[in-house]
Structure 1
């Protein structure tokens, strides 16, 4: 008797180590740093490789968010669930964004990385930061919320603004759910369309090592390792603070909600290496959403929390903002009162939302914060402009881990988490 074996039931063939994406990205980063250091002109000329990869990923972000959110919401039986999930996500974002600001302020006061530089504020070059100041003035909180509303129903899919795509997707998903059986053919079509779109994401991710190589070669070639100079203490302090925030604060939240932050970091290591190589957390957005679904979070929760978190849950950016503001004050020998520091904190809470989703948001929000506190020279941003690129990786990494953690926590709060699947996935008992 012939025994038929279903090919799909066979375990997937184990990849050789050099075929694993994050291993390829690691080697690409090392190669990029080496080339940029020893052949800086050639390294700097490879910037288009990194830029092209980021553009390729951004090309697919809008369809991924739209399909995930629409099909997730259309499958909901309770329409109040959308508002409930959004409310819980916003409560989480506000709490931990504020904590990140406070942590950055406390560490900057304890370590005082800018002390001893003795820089005269009048000698600083304001021209270098004028562009960021102009963008910060344009990025008011009202303009930010008005910008969420797109010009047309389909323009967000062409423009790629994350919050506009999310806004249209939520409305369309609610409409599909409201019409019931009449909307089922469209829901089925969009659900079927999700498969090739995510397969396309997988195809595009194979280009990640090339993008990481180009981005790192450019960074080291253009700015040089030596450009870190005496600002090394600020960079090291920022990296250590962000690491402690992830391990201690997010770690405590994760433990309270029944999972390990270390296991989560291990699970999303591909995305973290990708972010490190490209200096952009957006590069990992499509695959992060897919992984959070596979980890047991409901599609609707992932679709609402992850894209929204990319604008409202910027833990790394917030740590950077208060730390950089106090660094400038210390470098210029400006003694800020506790009330001026609290003002910085409050302004940063608002400005971090006003410039969300804008390219270079970390620097723009810093400009917005400094411009409101008269004691601090906005031109002081020139002090850290040269090393901002070296800190952007850490901001992006921290933001990514924070959003992955937020997706699981909010899903658990909303009873939209398959705990057994989460445990099995994070412990590597099932194929990720």
Structure 2
């Protein structure tokens, strides 16, 4: 009887990849190489900037199609349109709750440890020109303008731009349109379904370039700013990192435990994305692969499609911790005493401004400028004190934002009974988490 080799190969378990073939290992070595080059050859390290920028541009190129396809197919496959509104509503409740909690934690930590105390800076000696671009960006952003900016010029224009919320808005109404006329729109649905295969294959192809992008971004950062740039403000940076770790491990850890999974297993599962964000200081660089990973972890496609892109604008836990921590650091450094009522006003303003500046390049620093502009007690010029180390803190902001959105996706999926619990545990317990081919 002839042996069917193809059947034997199909039944064999997949071979475990060698350690150097794993994406996170390649990115880790690329980060190390970038740090060494930037430290010992800073001029050459700065020249590596196009590698990091180019990779981020490649990822941004594919973000709009990924979100449009995922959300459109997810909504179009829903029979009950009330479910769409329910998922969106629960997501916003979650985002508002934990974004506010992040702001409060930053406020409490800053009052307890007072990282700016003792610097004794005279606000009149600060040069506001160095942060003038960020202040201008803050003035251009407002909650009303932000909301109006969600509406695109045309139905097609979001697919050629980089505004995530415009893509999300278009995908939602288009998905509802298909679902409402599914008998006549079946060919359109089938076309988008077929289009998803090459688009996600492109995502997997681009992710293989992640080590090159990580190397370029890290070499430039260390070459331009130097490892010593953190020394004079090391306590602020350390306080921010430890506070973010506390938020992830304790606050999000408790949320994860209550919802039946382990936060540290989730971090291990997302190690590729976390290392990529660490190197590029951009959470957008990991958005397409994060959506794939969350689907693979058992979260339903419609939930992933709605929660992850929306969370990138409304669920910025790391940015919120940074805002209150940095604002009080400036006040302490300038010997400005803020009463409880003033700190509560600062908190409320930060809640609004964090939504108004969402999606803006350099959103963390611009949001801080927008907040300080409304709180006259703290000088906007004080932002010059943290300008030099903001680059190092932006990495932590992006990492915390990414983890917060991953947890939110699992939680909302569980609330909606759209979570395959067994698949979640199998994925989180797996020693490898490579993207599917």
For the aligned pair, the TM-score class normalised by the smaller chain equals over 0.9
Q: Name the residue aligned to 1:31.
A: 33
Distance (whole Å) between structure 2 residues aligned to residue 10 and residue 312 of structure 1: 44
Distance (whole Å) between structure 1 residues aligned to residue 61 and residue 328 of structure 2: 38
Distance (whole Å) between structure 2 residues aligned to residue 186 and residue 386 of structure 1: 51
Q: Name the residue aligned to 1:12.
A: 14
Q: Does 1:108 align with 2:110?
A: yes
Q: Does 1:262 align with 2:264?
A: yes
Q: Name the residue aligned to 1:288.
A: 290
Q: Name the residue aligned to 1:53.
A: 55
Q: Give the alignment of 1:244-259 within 5 angstroms.
A: 244-259=246-261
Distance 1:429 1:394, change over 3 A: closer
4+ residue runs over 4 A deviation: 429-432
Deviation per residue, 1:142-187 (Å, 9 max, x gap): 0000000000000000012100000000000000000022111211
Q: Does 1:173 align with 2:175?
A: yes
Mapped contact 1:424–1:430 kept (Cα < 8 A): no
Mapped contact 1:216–1:278 kept (Cα < 8 A): yes
Q: Name the residue aligned to 1:148.
A: 150
TM-score, normalised by the number of residues in structure 2: 0.97
Q: Out of 371, 374, 378, which is 1:372 matched to?
A: 374
Q: Out of 382, 395, 404, which is 1:393 matched to?
A: 395
Q: Give the alignment of 1:329-340 within 5 angstroms.
A: 329-340=331-342
How far did residue 229 of structure 1 move?
2.1
Q: Name the residue aligned to 1:139.
A: 141
Helix, strand or coil: the match of 2:404?
helix
Distance (whole Å) between structure 1 residues aligned to residue 370 and residue 306 of structure 2: 28
Q: Out of 78, 94, 98, which is 1:92 matched to?
A: 94
Q: Out of 299, 302, 318, which is 1:300 matched to?
A: 302
Deviation per residue, 1:44-65 (Å, 9 max, x gap): 1111111000000000000000
Distance 1:218 1:193, change over 3 A: same
Helix, strand or coil: the match of 1:148?
coil
Mapped contact 1:72–1:300 kept (Cα < 8 A): yes
Distance (whole Å) between structure 1 residues aligned to residue 56 and residue 158 of structure 2: 18
Mapped contact 1:105–1:326 kept (Cα < 8 A): yes
Deviation per residue, 1:287-330 (Å, 9 max, x gap): 00001001111100000000000000000000000000000001
Helix, strand or coil: the match of 2:386?
helix
Distance (whole Å) between structure 1 residues aligned to residue 153 and residue 225 of structure 2: 39
Distance (whole Å) between structure 2 residues aligned to residue 420 and residue 51 of structure 1: 39
How far did residue 423 of structure 1 move?
1.2
Helix, strand or coil: the match of 1:114?
coil
Please tell me the root mean square deviation across aligned C-alpha atoms, in Å.
1.1
Distance (whole Å) between structure 2 residues aligned to residue 430 and residue 3 of structure 1: 32
Helix, strand or coil: the match of 2:385?
helix
Mapped contact 1:157–1:165 kept (Cα < 8 A): yes
Q: Name the residue aligned to 1:413.
A: 415
Q: Out of 191, 194, 218, which is 1:192 matched to?
A: 194
Helix, strand or coil: the match of 1:297?
coil
Distance (whole Å) between structure 2 residues aligned to residue 431 and residue 377 of structure 1: 46
Q: Out of 296, 305, 315, which is 1:313 matched to?
A: 315
Deviation per residue, 1:254-296 (Å, 9 max, x gap): 1111111111111111000000011100000000000100111
Distance (whole Å) between structure 1 residues aligned to residue 178 and residue 432 of structure 2: 33
Mapped contact 1:39–1:221 kept (Cα < 8 A): yes
Distance (whole Å) between structure 2 residues aligned to residue 2 and residue 169 of structure 1: 52
Distance (whole Å) between structure 1 residues aligned to residue 343 and residue 433 of structure 2: 48
Distance 1:334 1:23, change over 3 A: same
Distance (whole Å) between structure 2 residues aligned to residue 92 and residue 294 of structure 1: 22
Distance (whole Å) between structure 2 residues aligned to residue 341 and residue 254 of structure 1: 30
Distance (whole Å) between structure 2 residues aligned to residue 69 and residue 187 of structure 1: 12
Q: List gaps (5 residues or longer) in structure 1.
A: none
How far did residue 431 of structure 1 move?
6.3
TM-score, normalised by the number of residues in structure 1: 0.98
Q: Name the residue aligned to 2:2.
A: 2
Q: List gaps (5 residues or longer) in structure 2.
A: none
Mapped contact 2:269–2:433 kept (Cα < 8 A): no
Helix, strand or coil: the match of 1:385?
coil
